[in-house]
Structure 1
Amino acid sequence: MILVAGLVVTIGACGGDGGASREAGPWMLEASLAEAGAGVQFCEEVTANVSAYMSQFEGQMPPSERHGGAVVVASIGDIPDGMNNHVSQDYTASQHQSFVNLMTLVKYDEDQNPEPYLAESWEVSDDASEITFHIRDDVYWHDGELTDAYDVAYTFKRAIDPETAFPNAAYWTHYEQGPDGVEVVDSFTVKFQMRPHADYIDPWRATTIMPEHLLGDVPSAELRQHPYGTVCPVGNGPFIFVEHREAASWTFQANPAFPADLGGRPYLDRYVYRVITERTTLLTELLTGGVDVFIRPFPDEVQAILDSDVVDLLRYPFRGYVLVGWNARRPQLADKRVRQALTRGTNRQEIVDALLQGYGTVANGSVPPFHWAYDPSIGRDAMSYDQDAARALLAAAGWVDRDGDGVRENAAGVRLAISIKYNHGNDMRQDIAEIMQAQLSQIGVEVTPMVVEWGTLLDQIGQTPRDFDGVVMGWIVEYKLDDTDLFHSDNISETYAWSGTQRPDIDRFLEELPLVVDREEAKPIWSEYQELLVDEQPYTFFFFDDRLDGINKRLRGVEMDARGEWLNIKDWWIPADQR
């Protein structure tokens, strides 16, 4: 344990982990920061540095009446890999990295136009082969080091290093990845070489900049297990990491050094993310004030929120879809006709109507409704519910009920038996697996639903030997829509290649699409690509759902849309009489 002069203890309240609910007062550093990573040399050193740097701000009074109080956000899962953007593959983690603890070079406005954030400006060469970023000179890491161009170059080099296993490697496919790909012009100017391509700015909206001075000497292959991610992260964003209780909570404190030109220190003194795996408990906590924000209540929980006098429901179109991914490496799933049959044998419309209650639509491909290339007609007929067609596909693939037990076998007598995994605490995904179990039994497929803890499930589907047959998952696309990490043959061993897809014709489209800058020219190419996905059926695409969030009415200034739930957390505030 480290004890540093000037640290003070705050009194816990608000749902057990919410921390101090208090009037605005002088800024003081949370005591539990000193305990983060006690006994781990790296953590002891960095938390001491954070404490030393931040202690200089103690005693400062907040600049307005909106400052003060604590907010608790809750969901069913922890934040896998924490603040380690080098290896993180979880949406909630990405949101906390981008908007809470760290920073991206750019962010998007409500019309999806890029605007400055860590980069104060940028310019692109006339032939779109070079982009130069000018980094702000007033953003400090929470340990007092300046964020600079070397951090940006370091982050890029780590992302393109295969040893890092950066999950979104396709971001950088058209950036020059050799020694001449990046140049640090000066401490606050960095230049990148690239091939002209569409949406070249989007990776810098999605990739948070990481601290070279803390991680630069760590071998790339060791970054995933490094304590920086979940034990003692040091960011440069609007909130300072204070504490992580595994499978329970994350606590952050307002950063008093956040640049005034970016809004200065957040209004909230403290932000807590709680993990509540039992959905009934989570809803009760929201309705009784134990938590302020319930991330993604299910449609069958919405009425209780609508009936409440203290909670509002936010609803907005999102950029994600729910799928059942099929592992084509498994012999029983290797034939596309089997995967087509699994989709055609499932009444997806009936399931969507029952589970979403009007808060979403059936999906037949990977292009969501918000995207300019979306075409709702693709796959609508070819993958419509038809159990007779499904039975014919299975028979054509050699799967027949040879012994009369109701389950099909191949010529070698192997049963058409598969498991469908889903994560613990997600009742909707459990419902999908169990309904598919019942419906697919009618066409001779034996399905076993299996529940797995979230972090374990990510490992099972994302790492060799890919220990799953089918998996119910959610996928959130970037504004730069690119399925390369999912379906390109060259990425068969990468994290997101759940399906094991290997098709040269799909590869050609994935290589061509990012290079077509003109949208009118690109749209028919996107349609052809989507038709190939319908034929391949790497997933049973289930639905595009509207995003739902329950929010306590005491919480003001909240903006949530397709960019995410935490996009303006630094501007959230609570009236003084409700803290």
Structure 2
Amino acid sequence: MKMMTRLMGAAALVVTGLASAPVHAEGGTLVIASTQVPRHLNGAVQSGIATAVPSTQIFASPLRYDENWEPQPYLAESWEVSEDGLKVTLNLVQNATFHDGEPVTSEDVAYSLMVTKENHPFASMFAPVESIDTPDEHTAVINLSQPHPALLLALSPALAPVLPKHLFDNGEDPKSNSFNSAPVGSGPFMLEEFTAGEAVVLKKNPNFFIDGRPKLDEIIIRIIKDPSALLIAMENGEADLYPFMAGSQEIKRLEGADHLSITDQGYAAVGPINWLAFNTTSEKLSDVRVRQAIAYAVDRDFITKALHRGVSAPQRGPIIESSPFFDESIPSYDVDLDKANALMQEAGFGDGMELTIDFIPGPKEQQQSVAEYMKSQLKKIGIDVTVRAAPDFPTWAGRVGGHDFELTMDVVFNWGDPVIGVHRTYLCSNIREGVIWSNTQQYCNEKVDELLNAAAVEQDDAKRKEMYGQFQQIVAQDLPIYWINALPYHTAYDKKLSNVPTGIWGTMHPMDMVDWSE
């Protein structure tokens, strides 16, 4: 009853904004504010912020990463990589149990990694995994068809949750398994309640396998779709932490709240890119000249400097510009309306065309505002754009994942290594209808596949950089996507919080050390 009262109170705050700030006792409750609506809570078959934040609290993973990009023990207390790079042995802790009391074994690890390999939108992430041996209950040997330079990073909490095989292996489709919305894991927090579109309530796992953790008693993730209500909740102390904040007005406004701290740390491995995606199978957009014309019509500098008030950085290609693999020589398609109009004429659309553009609901400045700018800007080259709103994230994701779009704004992450977060968007083999953040553009180029597949197994960083350079030059010509900017993610949090997650994965990481200071 106490838990339900707390949740009802949180929901009421959204409506009235009149309730007083919660009292934080020892342990206490952390209220996270979010505009993202999770479809379910199983990160093994679903990517994205909305799922990853709760999933990484509910499920543990083989490894976790520190702020220096170094792998750390988690469910695996140690690990070894063979000299040829074709075997990775995980030695599991012996005291980990799932929330229902059943022990975590190597069979659970093997099952979970194969479910992720077969169902996660990042098909390239575990593609080299051929099989997983389980010689005993606490040893899992991952057998690879080829070396995988990003494998250890892929074993992070946001990407490799370990599921209880005895529950999830129930004959249901993993993507629609009934346990996806009522998950049982071995992480620091247990699911108490999941009210779709409203809140996720997590309570402390009293039998967590790391002694003395978690510090908090409870985490409530409040879904506040109205950005203004969310900011009021943070200012009034009705919410304690707001991660993945990207709006310039939000950042500047919350900087003025005396009880809050603002940081841009915690997103190093995310590599968030805001872009305009083309459905390359559309009759209107299958001609590369039309896609290039649109790119030449868009003023990236106006978007970043005016619409985003200078908080966003321009992004010219598929690999985040802060990555060592980014190619500085990539064509940038600086605005040139004469060239754009000439290309439209060459493509046979001198008399113009009509297109529809979608956008992710929620982060207006990075999505809706840019979509509306596209409407006015593309009119200059004869394209009449209809901006199509979606009532919620699942609706948008269903349209784009189902290839029911022409143009769409999107935010896609690099996820630390191109193998994990970049390949999925451009590989022919990852055109998967119904799967958001796969190759939803339906772009296919055999040379691109050849380069990406080679880079996925290359152990020499210099050679990988050369391959990724060639890849970037090709997709810059083919232009299945027009890359716009890197998102300026920030986290706002109550100054009384300690150990706020600012590592490479931020809040997409177990928050077992987060605590309230005295």
Match of 1:12 among 6, 12, 23: 6
Q: Give secondary structure in 2 for the equivalent of 1:296.
A: strand
Tell me, in whole angstroms, the C-alpha distance in 2 between the residues paired with 1:8 and 1:432: 43
Aligned pairs, number? 497
Tell me, in whole angstroms, the C-alpha distance in 1 between the residues paired with 2:508 and 2:12: 19
Correspondence for 1:80: 39
Q: Give secondary structure in 2 for the equivalent of 1:302.
A: helix
Correspondence for 1:449: 387
Q: For 1:139-193, what per-residue CA distance to the aligned partner results, in whole angstroms no more than 9, with x for missing partners?
A: 11000001110001111232344xxx321221122222xxxx2211100101121
Correspondence for 1:184: 134
CA deviation after TM superposition for structure 1 residue 12, in Å: 2.3
Tell me, in whole angstroms, the C-alpha distance in 2 between the residues paired with 1:544 and 1:9: 39
| Contact residue 356 and residue 545 of structure 1 kept, 8 A | no
Tell me, in whole angstroms, the C-alpha distance in 2 between the residues paired with 1:71 and 1:547: 20
Asked if 1:269 corresponds to 2:232, the answer is no
Q: For 1:2-30, what per-residue CA distance to the aligned partner results, in whole angstroms no more than 9, with x for missing partners?
A: xxxxx976752764479995565xxxxxx
CA deviation after TM superposition for structure 1 residue 122, in Å: 0.9
Tell me, in whole angstroms, the C-alpha distance in 2 between the residues paired with 1:533 and 1:217: 42
Asked if 1:315 corresponds to 2:264, the answer is yes
Tell me, in whole angstroms, the C-alpha distance in 2 between the residues paired with 1:23 and 1:560: 22
CA deviation after TM superposition for structure 1 residue 425, in Å: 2.5
Larger radius of gyration: 1
Tell me, in whole angstroms, the C-alpha distance in 1 between the residues paired with 2:294 and 2:326: 24
Correspondence for 1:467: 404
Correspondence for 2:97: 140
Q: Which amino acid in the other structure matches residue 506 of structure 1?
A: V
Match of 2:151 among 189, 195, 200: 200
- Equivalent residue runs for 1:97-116 within 5 Å: 97-98=55-56, 100-116=57-73
Correspondence for 1:43: none
| Contact residue 20 and residue 69 of structure 1 kept, 8 A | no
Correspondence for 1:93: 51
- Per the alignment, do residues 23 and 294 of structure 1 end up closer, same or farther by CA in structure 2, a change over 3 Å counting? closer
Correspondence for 1:375: 327
| Contact residue 378 and residue 384 of structure 2 kept, 8 A | yes
Correspondence for 2:17: none
Q: For 1:276-328, what per-residue CA distance to the aligned partner results, in whole angstroms no more than 9, with x for missing partners?
A: 11111110110011111123331112222122111111123641111111111
CA deviation after TM superposition for structure 1 residue 202, in Å: 2.2
Higher relative contact order (CA 8 A, sep 6+): 2
Match of 2:358 among 412, 418, 421: 421
- Per the alignment, do residues 291 and 542 of structure 1 end up closer, same or farther by CA in structure 2, a change over 3 Å counting? same
| Contact residue 60 and residue 161 of structure 2 kept, 8 A | yes
CA deviation after TM superposition for structure 1 residue 263, in Å: 4.7
Q: For 1:19-60, what per-residue CA distance to the aligned partner results, in whole angstroms no more than 9, with x for missing partners?
A: 995565xxxxxxxxxxxxxxxxxxxxxxxxxxxxxxxxxxxx
Correspondence for 2:205: 255
| Contact residue 95 and residue 564 of structure 1 kept, 8 A | no
Asked if 1:478 corresponds to 2:415, the answer is yes
Tell me, in whole angstroms, the C-alpha distance in 2 between the residues paired with 1:233 and 1:137: 22
Q: Which amino acid in the other structure matches residue 380 of structure 2?
A: Q
Q: Give secondary structure in 2 for the equivalent of 1:571.
A: coil
Asked if 1:524 corresponds to 2:466, the answer is yes
Q: Give secondary structure in 2 for the equivalent of 1:332.
A: coil
Q: Give secondary structure in 2 for the equivalent of 1:172.
A: coil
CA deviation after TM superposition for structure 1 residue 337, in Å: 1.2
| Contact residue 315 and residue 321 of structure 2 kept, 8 A | no
| Contact residue 558 and residue 568 of structure 1 kept, 8 A | no
Correspondence for 2:426: 487
Tell me, in whole angstroms, the C-alpha distance in 2 between the residues paired with 1:283 and 1:20: 14
Tell me, in whole angstroms, the C-alpha distance in 2 between the residues paired with 1:110 and 1:327: 37
Tell me, in whole angstroms, the C-alpha distance in 1 between the residues paired with 2:45 and 2:239: 29
Gapped regions of structure 2 (runs ≥ 5): 14-19
| Contact residue 103 and residue 236 of structure 1 kept, 8 A | yes
Tell me, in whole angstroms, the C-alpha distance in 2 between the residues paired with 1:250 and 1:122: 33
Asked if 1:573 corresponds to 2:511, the answer is no
| Contact residue 22 and residue 237 of structure 2 kept, 8 A | no
Q: Give secondary structure in 2 for the equivalent of 1:281.
A: helix
- Equivalent residue runs for 1:557-572 within 5 Å: 557-567=499-509, 569-572=511-514
Sequence identity of aligned pairs in percent? 24
- Equivalent residue runs for 1:395-434 within 5 Å: 395-401=345-351, 408=352, 416-428=353-365, 429-434=367-372
Correspondence for 1:168: 122
Q: Give secondary structure in 1 for the equivalent of 2:493.
A: strand
Q: Which amino acid in the other structure matches residue 110 of structure 2?
A: A
| Contact residue 421 and residue 433 of structure 1 kept, 8 A | yes
Deviates more, 1:292-301 or 1:470-479: 292-301
Tell me, in whole angstroms, the C-alpha distance in 1 between the residues paired with 2:486 and 2:44: 28
Q: Which amino acid in the other structure matches residue 106 of structure 1?
A: L
- Equivalent residue runs for 1:113-128 within 5 Å: 113-128=70-85
Tell me, in whole angstroms, the C-alpha distance in 2 between the residues paired with 1:342 and 1:119: 49
Normalising by the residue count of structure 1, what TM-score does the alignment of the two structures yield? 0.82
CA deviation after TM superposition for structure 1 residue 568, in Å: 5.1
Tell me, in whole angstroms, the C-alpha distance in 1 between the residues paired with 2:511 and 2:150: 26
Tell me, in whole angstroms, the C-alpha distance in 1 between the residues paired with 2:470 and 2:166: 46
Tell me, in whole angstroms, the C-alpha distance in 1 between the residues paired with 2:75 and 2:12: 31
- Per the alignment, do residues 160 and 312 of structure 1 end up closer, same or farther by CA in structure 2, a change over 3 Å counting? closer
Q: Which amino acid in the other structure matches residue 228 of structure 1?
A: F
Q: Give secondary structure in 2 for the equivalent of 1:432.
A: helix
| Contact residue 21 and residue 237 of structure 2 kept, 8 A | no
Match of 2:475 among 525, 529, 533: 533
Asked if 1:157 corresponds to 2:109, the answer is no
Normalising by the residue count of structure 2, what TM-score does the alignment of the two structures yield? 0.91
| Contact residue 124 and residue 131 of structure 1 kept, 8 A | yes
Q: For 1:325-361, what per-residue CA distance to the aligned partner results, in whole angstroms no more than 9, with x for missing partners?
A: 1111110010111111111101111011123323221
Q: Which amino acid in the other structure matches residue 575 of structure 1?
A: S
- Per the alignment, do residues 372 and 15 of structure 1 end up closer, same or farther by CA in structure 2, a change over 3 Å counting? same
Match of 1:292 among 235, 240, 244: 240
Deviates more, 1:275-284 or 1:106-115: 106-115
Correspondence for 1:216: 169
Tell me, in whole angstroms, the C-alpha distance in 1 between the residues paired with 2:411 and 2:24: 40
